[in-house]
């Protein structure tokens, strides 16, 4: 058997890894999937995936995968023959998509489809906790299949139904700075994104409530006075609030001597949803409930 390091990504649905089909610009993640392995079955299909940053393509195979003590058989695996420079610089050798089948590259059953059909787990959920290096809490970060870890959150889990199957997309009351009106678009939980992405016009709506903020056209992000508190908060439709800590939202000063800082909400093509990346997810315990098509936050 071969071992791989992959990024868990709730914002996509394909599972792919670097393979021996890749001959150049393949990054330096080490192990490559052997398509000649006796367990690899050629699915006679190609795949091509475009992410927010980066792309990959190759051939689809079926094989058995193990994650911890879980075994998933007949899993469709993308054997990457090409990866873009953005993905080549990632220390991981692939991406484990945790989204729904509707957004797979070839309509194949996903890792979660196979897992929850084959393994008898306590519940059909994936739960996430993220730590912070600055607070030395990275050891508390975990991805858990089949259950939640009540040691890592307090209070009740607040659930919102998935509004459009594909991404882990749910309705919100607002996402705003302070007491501003902000944005009231659907949001998606995306463990494969670092920051918080919204359409250009929606980013402008968010930032208008931050005094002295301005858009840096050249760099593609918003800046604001470092002394300014943002008080960014997501409000779900049940009236609960999920604030983002200032240290998570503030990405640091423009230069070593600048008094202006870069903010975590930036404009991108997001299909008119708010993409909630790790900056937000550090501030909530998140649960992807596959059997009941809902997203939980605690």
CATH of segment(s) 150-297 = 2.40.70.10
> Which residue of the set 14, 190, 248, 289 is catalytic?
190
> Which residue of the set 9, 113, 248, 289 is catalytic?
9
3-class secondary structure, 178: coil
Q: Indicate if the pLDDT at residue 30 is higher than 80.
A: no
What is the model's pTM? 0.95
Q: Indicate if the pLDDT at residue 157 is higher than 90.
A: yes
> Is position 190 annotated as part of the catalytic site?
yes
- More confidently predicted of 91 and 283: 283
Q: Hey, do 7-118 and 150-297 end up sharing a CATH topology, with the first three levels equal? A: yes
Write out pLDDT tens, residues 169-181: 999 999 999 999 9
Residue written as token pair 């058995």: 64
Write out pLDDT tens, residues 63-83: 999 999 999 999 999 999 999
Cβ contacts of 272 within 8 Å, gap of 6 or more: 185, 186, 199, 202
Neighbours of 81 (CB within 10 A): 19
CATH superfamily to which 7-118 belongs: Acid Proteases (2.40.70.10)
- What are the domain boundaries of the chain? 7-118, 150-297
> Is position 9 annotated as part of the catalytic site?
yes
* Cα separation, 269 vs 252, whole angstroms: 24
């Amino acid at each position: 058997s071969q071992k791989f390091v992959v990024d868990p990504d709730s914002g996509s649905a394909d599972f792919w890894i670097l393979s021996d089909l890749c001959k150049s610009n393949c990054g330096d993640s080490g192990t490559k999937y052997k398509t000649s392995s006796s367990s690899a079955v050629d699915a006679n299909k190609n795949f091509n995936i475009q992410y927010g940053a980066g792309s990959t393509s190759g051939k689809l195979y079926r094989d058995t995968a193990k994650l911890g003590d879980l075994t998933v058989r007949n899993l469709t695996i993308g054997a990457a023959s090409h990866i873009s420079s953005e993905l080549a610089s990632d220390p991981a050798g692939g991406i484990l998509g945790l989204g729904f089948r509707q957004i797979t590259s070839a309509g194949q059953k996903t890792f979660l489809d196979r897992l929850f059909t084959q393994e008898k787990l306590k519940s059909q959920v994936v739960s996430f906790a993220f730590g912070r290096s600055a607070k030395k809490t990275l050891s508390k970060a975990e991805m858990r299949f089949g259950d939640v870890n009540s040691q890592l959150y307090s209070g009740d889990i607040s659930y919102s139904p998935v509004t459009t199957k594909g991404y882990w997309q749910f309705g919100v009351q607002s996402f705003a700075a302070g007491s501003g009106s902000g944005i009231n678009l659907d949001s998606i939980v995306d463990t494969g994104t670092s920051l918080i992405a919204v359409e250009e016009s929606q980013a402008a709506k968010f930032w208008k409530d931050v005094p002295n903020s301005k858009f840096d056209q050249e760099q593609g992000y918003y800046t604001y006075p470092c002394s300014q508190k943002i008080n960014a908060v997501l409000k779900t439709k049940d009236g609960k609030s999920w604030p983002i800590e200032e240290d998570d939202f503030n990405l640091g000063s423009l230069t070593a001597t600048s008094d202006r800082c870069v903010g975590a909400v930036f404009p991108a093509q997001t299909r008119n949803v708010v993409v909630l990346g790790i900056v937000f997810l550090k501030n909530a315990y998140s649960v992807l409930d596959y059997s009941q098509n809902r997203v939980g936050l605690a």
